[in-house]
Amino acid sequence: MTESTKVKVLDKVVVRFSGDSGDGMQLAGNIFSSISAAIGNEISTFPDYPAEIRAPQGTLSGVSGFQVHIGKGVYTPGDKADVLVAMNPAALKTNIKFLKKGGVVIIDTDSFKESDLKKALYNTNDAITELGIDPSQVMTVAITTHTKEALADSGLDLKSIVRCKNIFALGLVCWLFDRPVSQAGLMLSHKFAKKPTVAEANIKVLNDGYNYGHNIHASVSTYRIESASVKKGTYTDVNGNTATAWGLIAAAEKAKLPLYLGSYPITPATDILHELAKRKDVGVKACQMEDEIAGACSAIGAAFAGNLAATSTSGPGLALKSEALGLAVMAELPLVVIDVQRGGPSTGLPTKTEQTDLLQALYGRNGESPIVVVAASTPANCFDMAFNAAKIALEHMTPVILLTDGFIANGSTAWRIPEADEYPEIRPNYVKPEMADNGWRPYLRDPETYVRHWAIPGTEGFMHRLGGLEKDAKTGAISTEPSNHARMVAARQAKIDYIVNDIPDLKVLGNPDSDLLVIGWGGTYGHIYSAVTEMCNAGQSVAMIHFNYINPLPRNTEEIIRRYKKVVVCELNNGQFASYLSGKIHGVDFLRYNKIEAQPFTTSELVEHFAHLLEK
Amino acid sequence: MEENKKYTAQDYKSDQYVRWCPGCGDHAILNALQKAMAEVGIPPYKTAVISGIGCSSRLPYYMGTYGFHTIHGRAGAIATGVKVANPELAVWQVSGDGDGLAIGGNHFIHEVRRNIDINILLLNNKIYGLTKGQYSPTTDRGAVTKSSPYGTVEDPFIPAELVFGARGTFFARSLDVDTATSVEVLAAAARHKGASVVEILQNCVIFNNNIHSYITDKEVRAERTIHLHHGEKMLFGKEMNRGLVLDGHLLKAITIGEDGYTIDDVLVHDATTQNFVMHQMLAMMDGHELPLAIGVIRNVEAPTYDGEVTRQVEEVRQKKNYPTLRDVILSGDTWEVK
Ligand SMILES: Cc1ncc(C[n+]2csc(CCOP(=O)(O)OP(=O)(O)O)c2C)c(N)n1
Ligand code: SF4
Ligand SMILES: [Mg+2]
């Protein structure tokens, strides 16, 4: 009887969907997270695609996963899952390590036949025992059989029917977590709008999956997940790459400039190119160039010609762009460079995450070549930081590098769609018509901000020549005069330094009255913040600051850091930010917590490490 | 109206002192370019000249237009961005043989393949001038230069071949010493929609002096070059009594009235035919057995990259009709929190 079903109330829960890459796990996971968000949960998701494009079906290398964390106080996709859905033995084998102690496994018994087990390289005919799983944790359901029965009269062919089994599993999970299947049904009709029979079939099995749980497994406890009190508005699910692309478009709209993207495909940055290529529908010119150099160079050309110009890439591509970035520094043109960091060096670990491009971004150019470097901290924050990067570039006539990473680029969160008036104006320093006859020269600067004027080709009266050769500060003609060079180097630096006035101060998170200050930057925010919050809630006092702005650093950086007895910098590299900070703030012992496994932090490892630091 | 204003070469000059070596072929090319621009009449403020690095790439500083002296090899990529971003501009690229065909070779073939509406000046002195005399990708096999003291052991590119290989729509050639032809082909390049490549044989007096003299010397030029004009007979020689005919599948230079050849046997130049086989044969003539071709060799129509980008953006925009980004996002999967 349903009335007697046990209901557990939880703050948050992690569900991991896994199966063959053809099993539709991403779709099931996506729908599950979206409907959870729609009923007021915070969400964070992370897809785990197989490295191979088309691995043989049922094999270990063909497993695809999708982890979703829902509830209240959700800042990461979660270290481990409370519930693991495994559609085949290969998925079970590769994903069992992501299951929490005492977590629940749901398997499709139809795909655990001898031949399936063989493909996944099991030694016995009993996957559960072989993997040492407690059978009482396992919910066995003949998912494929039920799906076939449900759709016997659907008129679909067998292949299409079997393809719906992911949605049966989704229905079951919806029942387990008390999700509204009607909402999931709406999303399916949207997804399959062009194939009404397929939509209908999916909605049927969705309900059957839900009812199956309700009727057959009435004794299993279900969960109620706490809602967060989120801001009113219209929401969507967004990953970091899409958010980055949208942030650029939003900036172009604000600045009333066309957006140009020059790019070359590279994992994990390519989806930015994909999204902006689609956005021709709002006037974006996204050009796939012949290489990364051309991506950056064409963007510099577009900036010269008066567009908001951007180029997107990952570490190896940033290396190729470095000479061009030097040109943008010298020509003082606005340019947004997006580096979605991945494991390096060289080709490294293309699909995995790392924060190892920081020093490349800061220093990877010849000459004294200061550049603005900013970093996004969450998938949704990619929108804000892409917008801010563009604003800084346009208003300060400088290239800006935005660092994101594979983790936040592919991970997603719920995001409230902002109204245009929620973000600030962008006011580039254009030449004014009256300047034409009044001694205007291309490298004359605003005395306070050191920003030169932007004169866009096509404008009468402002014909000028830019270039990579050093220019005379006054006339803009080529100059090798020693004191002029010193003066120009200083001016380019002062221009970047001045930007500190346009960026927000740091806020101390966690418990400010602590002995321990935890420092992070970029995409590690979710894990560090979760660890700090967890510890503070448990009565352990930890303070935290997190950097979105790296060059220049926020004004109160030094003052905050000097307040603390112990300072630890956590980053997914060998200590690049720590060494950068040490170079700027002297006499502070920056402890380091570094991970270079091309994986994000886990909240638990951070908690453990911080606790250890508090004890010492 | 500003648009109807008549421009002179002077309007395309900047106030900068021209710093090429006295006698360098670049001086004459600069003058020819300014004359051609005045002839075509696009105002200086609607003109952008983009170059890479090299002696030849200093050219934008001497122009009274918008200009950008960029980095070695990348002029083509930067010019591409300029044109796509601002299709109203007349965009010119100036590259040396090293800038355009060595370090920038990749960008060169791709801009030609895309048929973006840029006029590409390739100043071919068969040497690296600015770095003081190393061989380039157009240096003849065996040439002794500073970096090939025993002679090069590699074959050069013939720029036209690269252009045709990349399915180029416009190729013309001129000589630095022949300003009239340079003006003619540069103006034709400007009027052609698409990537227009103009190769100008340029003398570097310092590091490769007289490298083109075999062809360019006044006494021999008429016999060793042929100035092609679309729709006209392929005639050359001091007396204009020599011509090109087809001999089997190959070109042959004949003298009218000798060996039974008459004017009727002489080929008529068709620069506008899509098939590039004849253009290729003409462009490959090197002044030895057959005269080197100058003038516009190929000039065909095809969709331009910048035109297609603009067209596609407009088409998709009209079809989808999203006023702003917010409307795009709202058309996807969303939910309300009340
Ligand atoms: C990245 C880079 N590599 C090398 C150079 C040095 N460099 C400058 S110009 C040049 C070659 C110039 O030859 P070309 O393009 O034929 O121009 P020319 O001087 O002959 O007109 C070289 C190798 C450079 N400036 N930048
Ligand atoms: S070195 Fe040669 S190419 Fe360069 S300016 Fe002198 S003559 Fe001209
Ligand atoms: Mg040269």
3-state helix, strand, coil in chain B (%, to 5): 35, 20, 45
DSSP E strand stretches across A525-571: 543-547, 549-551, 566-571
Vertex A409: Cα angle to A406 and A415 (nearest 5): 150
Are A304 and B48 a contacting pair at CB < 8 A?
yes
> CA-to-CA distance for B51 and B47, rounded, in angstroms?
13
Q: Which residues of chain A have pLDDT under 50?
A: 1-4
Contacts of A19 (CB under 8 A, 6+ apart): A25, A63, A64, A85, A86, A87, A88, A91, A166
Question: Could you tell me if residue A427 is inside a domain?
Answer: no
CATH number at residue A546: 3.40.50.920
Sign of the Cα torsion A577, A583, A584, A587 reads positive
Name the CA radius of gyration of chain B, rounded: 22
In CATH, the architecture of B9-211 is 3-Layer(aba) Sandwich (3.40)
A155-165 burial by CB neighbour count: b if 16+ within 10 A, else e?
Answer: ebeeeebbbbb
Question: B70, B82 in Cβ contact below 8 A?
Answer: no
Whether residues A521 and A582 fall in one domain? yes
CATH number at residue A284: 3.40.50.970
Whether residues A220 and A256 fall in one domain? no
Number of neighbouring beta carbons within 10 Å of residue A49 = 15
Q: pTM value? A: 0.96
Q: Which domain holds residue A87?
A: 7-225
Domain boundary among A225, A252, A277: A225
Q: Which residue has the tokens 């380019």?
A: A492
- The verdict on the CB of residue B176 being under 6 Å from ligand 1 is no
- For residue B208, give the ligand 2 atom closest to its CA: 2
**For residue A187, which residues of chain B lie inside 8 Å, CB to CB?**
333
Whether residues A147 and A253 fall in one domain? no
Number of neighbouring beta carbons within 10 Å of residue B23 = 11
- Sheet with B250-255: strands ordered across: B235-236, B242-247, B250-255
Question: A204, A343 in Cβ contact below 8 A?
Answer: no
> CA-to-CA distance for B159 and B198, rounded, in angstroms?
10
Are B77 and A294 a contacting pair at CB < 8 A?
yes
Sign of the Cα torsion B47, B53, B57, B62 reads positive
Vertex B170: Cα angle to B316 and B233 (nearest 5): 140
- Decide: helix, strand or coil at residue B24: coil
The confidence score (pLDDT) of residue A373 equals 99
DSSP E strand stretches across A203-353: 222-225, 233-239, 259-263, 285-288, 308-313, 335-341
Whether residues A516 and A472 fall in one domain? no
The confidence score (pLDDT) of residue A536 equals 97
Strand partners, A570: A593
Are B45 and A250 a contacting pair at CB < 8 A?
no
- The verdict on the CB of residue B243 being under 6 Å from ligand 1 is no
What is the per-residue pLDDT across B52-89, written as a single tens digit (0 to 9) for each? 999 999 999 999 999 999 999 999 999 999 999 999 99
- Hey, what are A20's tokens? 């063959």
> CA-to-CA distance for A30 and A45, rounded, in angstroms?
8
Angstroms from A189 CA to nearest CA on chain B: 11
CATH number at residue A53: 3.40.920.10
- The verdict on the CB of residue B99 being under 6 Å from ligand 1 is yes
- Residue B304 — pLDDT band, cuts 50, 70, 90? very high
Question: Could you tell me if residue A2 is inside a domain?
Answer: no
Whether residues A334 and A380 fall in one domain? yes
| Number of domains chain A contains | 4
Number of neighbouring beta carbons within 10 Å of residue A472 = 17
**For residue B87, which residues of chain A lie inside 8 Å, CB to CB?**
none
Question: A206, A42 in Cβ contact below 8 A?
Answer: no
Task: Look at ligand 1, atom 22, and give the residue with the nearest C-alpha.
Answer: B131
Are B78 and A465 a contacting pair at CB < 8 A?
no
Pocket test for ligand 1, best of B97, B127, B130 (most atoms within 8 A of CB): B130
Residue A283 contacts B, CB cutoff 8 Å? yes
Nearest to B77 among A183, A297, A418 (CB): A297
User: Strand A12-20 vs strand A63-71: parallel, antiparallel, or unpaired?
Assistant: antiparallel
Name the CA radius of gyration of chain A, rounded: 27
The confidence score (pLDDT) of residue A4 equals 43
- Residue B3 — pLDDT band, cuts 50, 70, 90? low
Contacts of A363 (CB under 8 A, 6+ apart): none
Whether residues A131 and A277 fall in one domain? no
Q: Which residue has the tokens 């025993």?
A: B150
Q: Closest by alpha carbon to A304, among B61, B103, B50? A: B50
Q: What is the mean pLDDT of residues B305-311?
A: 98
Domain boundary among A181, A201, A225: A225
Question: Could you tell me if residue A142 is inside a domain?
Answer: yes
Burial class (CB in 10 A: 0-12, 13-18, 19+), B154: exposed
Which residue of B13, B110, B333, B338 is the best one to mutate when testing the A interface, meaning the one whose CB has the most A CBs within 10 A?
B333
Question: Could you tell me if residue A13 is inside a domain?
Answer: yes
Domain boundary among A361, A396, A422: A422
Whether residues A454 and A530 fall in one domain? no
Whether residues A472 and A608 fall in one domain? no
Whether residues A466 and A398 fall in one domain? no
Q: Is the pLDDT of residue B43 over 80?
A: yes
- Residue B157 — pLDDT band, cuts 50, 70, 90? very high
Question: Could you tell me if residue A242 is inside a domain?
Answer: yes
- The verdict on the CB of residue B117 being under 6 Å from ligand 1 is no
Whether residues A329 and A348 fall in one domain? yes
The confidence score (pLDDT) of residue A2 equals 39
> CA-to-CA distance for B208 and B199, rounded, in angstroms?
17
**For residue A465, which residues of chain B lie inside 8 Å, CB to CB?**
14, 60-61, 63, 66-69
**For residue A246, which residues of chain B lie inside 8 Å, CB to CB?**
325, 329
> CA-to-CA distance for A75 and A87, rounded, in angstroms?
27
End-to-end Cα, chain A, rounded Å: 54
